[in-house]
Structure 1
């Protein structure tokens, strides 16, 4: 059986230390009643941080004195190919002949075509600094030498594929050696029924996918710079955005067992699409999870404990009060934080006991008087969190912060998996000795 052709990037991101030109066109810079025409490039700049911007050059022949004396840009505006781009001025310089400036869009992605027509048969996106995965269920259908991950929901098929010609290997080597931001994978979206779709449809799926991949990686990971393609491969729309990347220590996902993500995605997508409330709940929980899964820089462990437990309480409220209606909103508010989390974990089938997997919490608890002991793990992590937010506790818990952080994130990962109905394997941050060691979720089918 012949292998399919690989999905290739729409832009040359191979030299990610330099700005990449995404598009060229005409530009107009307006300052109060003065208008200056010229040309501009839409760039993806990688240093000092990834950002999309327009770099314009306009003629000053008619008003050579303006850039020398005019420095009030509050009423300035910028248009590219006749389309007004809301944003603000960055670096600029002028002389008697030309005005050069950087214009930063106020939000991303930037769309420069009508995204509403349903004319796309496929869409591709570019994925930076994703995981080096293996073990997908559809590898036999992959282009030669390219790892493949296929995520399918009821309506969509999304393929994540390594770059051809060993480019992904080279990108991972540069990430490890230099740090920074490098293209590692391509994303291809198609509808299962083969029907054409709009750019708006693709962007909605991209937002879902970004949240899912952030949960898989344990840190921010967004596909960017989307391109719509019609049935003959012609471009139907383009969007432009900068990568959001992070370097989390690990997550629940085993990168050498990519089938975990393939199993989880349709469950996550079903919850996401169940209601706007569920979408907002999952988005918030994944955002806080990505922030809390720190490598020890910013935020620190103390802030990460607070963020992780905020996400847990958000999930508990939505599932127990809004979705299942197991308790009223007032009843939930009247509960102690530990009781809220205990109820969530019990319903989800997640153990509540303090075990040897958090030795510093266990040792600290052994030193407390009987009336001050933590009754279980939810009690311990919320009490430690309270000692950070309201530092009046007389308990000596400073040595427990790392344990509380790991335990809070373990609970958050398992809660998200359980609430989506996942029953496969995962990597436990409490017991695994390496990221490739997996075990069945506590509520899952026993081998």
Structure 2
């Protein structure tokens, strides 16, 4: 047990899904817009509100009586000397104990961020962060109160080390999320230098960005580091209360195998390298954006197929034109041939899987040669209602649904290959319908 790492302890937690997370309790000073000297001293609470969508809010009362009305301004935390702009969401005057009390609620529109008062240095030795709606993965052992749990995922990249631990009640929170939906903090993480040397918080931006894109691609919904706490030898020095885009809980079929956490280090390192590369950085961010949107069927199944096609086009252009310079007249290639080049480069099968019976039947009836042609033709028949002057019969139902499944699988495989992942995955189109099966990626 002595050699087992200690479990990370979150600073903030959700007791139940969608419970607000209190960040600060104490005096606030609110300044009206355009009137910096017009200030109101209030007593209130700053908190993370989850529903209907995540936001940082404050709720405060004032013993001055009526506050009047103003639609926003700047709120400052007296104890911490931090401030942020806000929009007013509620103002009222209540009668309490024979006294008029002004009450207001505001929604913060930019991050609260700052060092604690009397902080002597601007450097930290690690940054603790919290993550919402991440499912449990079997990982390395950690110990807490003499109990050992297999909850840690850890990566090393460049000069950085990243550790992610499931919170103690992660599985219970996930069970509740499955019933209620919404949000809960399920993981806590830390970023530090491998040599444990102090660093300025801003120098960890790229590795924290990588954690966000990694987790979002891993689970197929938006999530990542939030409520950052910069520490020096365990003592809080700096905090940033901001919210990335976080999706509410929805069950999804992830590509990631749950029993192979060590293989994920390849993906994290490959993603970090691509986000560090000026030729690839924008392409990877946009392609993962399209992937998450396609997986969630934004714009319905038909719209999701179009999003996948947009991602294929971008990945193909970056790989074969911008980086390798092997295609000199890209406009002369049709979309199906571009996708064929991409799939062939990584040995990804182009035949329509036999499990997609309806799409295969449609392909045979229309003489489509393979998966790339089937996808581009489904897209064309959705986007273009006519061919010349002849109206197309609308394509709908099971063939379109199966084309969506194929497009998402192709996109997963292309991203995994470009990000240099050579481990196992859970096939989105499992042979024989076995959703728990895993297999090695085709190019490994």
Residues 298-332 of structure 1 show CA distances to partners (whole Å, capped at 9, x for unaligned) of 5421221111221221211212221212224xx22
Cα distance in 1 for partners of 2:334, 2:57 equals 48
Q: For 1:248 and 1:291, locate their aligned partners in 2 and report how far apart those are by CA, in whole Å.
A: 15
Matches of 2:171 and 2:353, distance apart in 1: 40
For structure 1, the 5+ residue unaligned runs are none
Q: 1:375 to 1:120 in 2, by over 3 A?
A: same
User: How far, CA to CA, are the matches of 2:178 and 2:231 in structure 1?
Assistant: 34
Helix, strand or coil for the counterpart of 2:282?
A: helix
Give the C-alpha shift of residue 404 in structure 1. 1.0
Question: Cα gap change, 1:141/1:171 in structure 2, threshold over 3 Å: closer, same or farther?
Answer: closer
| Structure 1 match to 2:374 | 380
Q: Which residue does 2:86 correspond to in 1?
A: 87
Q: Following superposition, which runs of at least 4 residues in structure 1 exceed 4 angstroms of deviation?
A: 140-143
Query: Judging changes above 3 Å, is the alpha-carbon distance between structure 1 residues 113 and 97 closer, same or farther for their aligned structure 2 residues?
Result: farther
Structure 1 residues 51 and 178 mapped into 2: Cα distance closer, same or farther (>3 Å)?
Answer: same
TM-score normalised to structure 1 length: 0.86
Distance, in Å, in 2 between the alignment partners of 1:142 and 1:335 is 56
Q: CA offsets, 1:44-67, max 9 Å, x none?
A: 112233221122333445xx4x62
Q: Distance in 2 between matches of 1:123 and 1:434?
A: 40
Judging changes above 3 Å, is the alpha-carbon distance between structure 1 residues 307 and 337 closer, same or farther for their aligned structure 2 residues?
A: same
TM-aligned CA deviation for residue 439 of structure 1: 0.8
TM-score, structure 2 normalization: 0.87
In the alignment, what sits opposite 2:182? 180
CA drift at 1:409: 0.7
Of stretches 91-100 and 190-199 in structure 1, the one that deviates more from structure 2 is 91-100
For the residue of structure 2 that corresponds to 1:147, the secondary structure is: strand
Aligned to 1:20: 21
Residues 4-53 of structure 1 deviation map (CA, whole Å, 9 limit, x = unaligned): 32211102422444322112342223155443222342211122332211
The match for 1:4 is 5
**SS of residue paired to 1:102:** strand
Distance 1:316-1:87 versus aligned 2 partners, 3 A rule: farther
Q: CA RMSD in A?
A: 2.6
- For residues 213 and 90 of structure 2, the distance between their equivalents in structure 1, rounded to whole angstroms, comes to 33
The whole-number CA distance in structure 1 between the counterparts of 2:84 and 2:427 is 46
Deviation at 1:94?
A: 3.2
Partner of 1:105: 108
154-163 or 93-102: bigger deviation: 93-102
SS in structure 1 at match of 2:182: coil
Task: Write the deviation string for residues 273-317 of structure 1: whole angstroms up to 9, x where unpaired.
Answer: 223x422211111111111112x6x54212211112212212112
Where 1:85 maps in the other structure, the secondary structure is strand
1:187-242 per-position Cα deviation (integer Å, ceiling 9, x unaligned): 121111222122223343222101011111121121211111102x1112111134
